[in-house]
Amino acid sequence: MITVISATNRPNSNSLKMAKNYTQLMEKQGVKSKLFSFESLPTDFIISDLYNKRSENFQQLLDEFIIPANKLVFIVPEYNGSFPGVLKTFLDAVHPDLNRGKKVALVGVSSGRAGNLRGLDHLTGILNYLGMHILPHKLPVSSVLTLLNEDGTLKDENTIKVLEKQIEEFMKM
């Protein structure tokens, strides 16, 4: 199973829009996936789900999206030159054994020029430490606001092509 993760809890984020587009592109290639938006995380999980504690809501999310997945796609927005703190907190709340050996694709999203390359590098270091296997083709999506229609669909053909290429490479991994 493949889980596509919108790695921010910001409501109606561009990351979620990109994650939805990514799952649709996967579907076009005959690849089934589940979309996990961090909007669905319990608002108090930093208190209820760290340090060997586990709430029922958080466990349900793990059971649906993380534990059965052998591949994860992180759609990661740029926050302060890196990735969102909610993503780091989520990774801290999940026992490393649940992710060890999983294959990962990374897509950075930003309204600026770099497509969150620095954040993807930071995240790569953490995921490598956790024993995950990262697809070398990390995809920075820059100027995301110019790439989406008003309804959130991806309109830029070049971006669609590079996302499709990444998906093809990820399926061979």
- Domains by residue range for the chain, with CATH: 2-172 (3.40.50.360)
pLDDT at 126 over 90: yes
Full-prediction pTM beyond 0.85?
Answer: yes
Query: What are the CB-based long-range contacts (under 8 Å, 24+) for 146-149?
Result: 148/14, 148/17, 148/18
Q: What is the pLDDT of residues 12-25, one digit of tens each?
A: 999 999 999 999 99
Confidence of residue 26 (pLDDT cuts 50, 70, 90): very high
Question: How far is Cα 21 from Cα 153, in angstroms, rounded to an integer?
Answer: 6
Percent with pLDDT over 70 in the chain: 100
Nearest CA to 171 among 30, 20, 75? 30
pLDDT for residue 53: 86
